[in-house]
Structures are given as structure tokens and as C-alpha cells.
Amino acid sequence: MEISKGRGCVYSLEYHVVWCVKYRHKILTEQILSALKTILLTVCDEIEVKIIEFNGELDHIHILISCKPTHYIPDVVQKLKGVSSRVLMLQFSNELQRKLWGGHIWNPSYFIATVSENTESQIKEYIKNQGR
């Protein structure tokens, strides 16, 4: 795990985040997952969050992120889901609007777990093996 230094603190904060497509529809093709990764990397760069690992299956995604102690995790997840939903709906409107309506791609819920240096390699491997 990478140790970072902030103003008055030293930290290493990593989170495993999982969220699902609304109604668990199987819409996340390779092309959509690739676009989603690009979108999430852009958003994370803007809010100073680092994506360590990313992958998904047809109906959900897994990401391993590193944050600063000043980040409020529900806001980070909301930003990632909100921006990615809007951009994907614009880029893939024909494909997505057939199965999803109302402009919402993601289920409002999500799973999050903290990651320690003892479990980081296991979680990275688990995420890499999604969709296989």
C-alpha cells in the first residue's frame, strides 16, 4: 500500500467499492466498460482520488480506490456514479435507453469495504478476475 503525506498527517486509505446496474440489467459490454473506465479516471483525477484497480461484469463494477482523509466517501461514490451515468447515457443512448429509462443507469445502493495491506493483493486479484 502506498503511504501518502498530507498537511499534518500521513495516511493510506483504500476502499473496495461495488455498485450494480439498475434492475441488474446486463448492459455493461466491453465497449461500455472501457468508456466507463475512462470516465471514472477523469472524474477521479478531478477530485484527487486514485483508481488502483477497475473491472466489472455485465451487471456490476468493482473499483479499488485510494483517497485522502479529507474525502467523504459517500460524496466520492455519488460523484462517480452520477457523472458516469450522465456521460454513458449520452454516449450510448440507443443501447441503454432500450433497457433503462429515466436517465438512471446505477442502482442507488453500493457496497464499500476498507482495505488493509494484508488484503490489498487479494482484492486486486479478485477485481482483475471479474468477468472471467
- The catalytic residues are 126
Torsion region of 131: left, alpha or beta (phi above 0 gives left; psi -120 to 50 gives alpha): left
Give yes or no for a contact between 105 and 85, defined as CB atoms under 8 angstroms apart: yes
Q: What is the number of other CB atoms lying within 10 angstroms of the CB of residue 63?
A: 23
Q: What is the number of other CB atoms lying within 10 angstroms of the CB of residue 125?
A: 10
- 80 three-class SS: helix
CA 73 to chain centre: 12
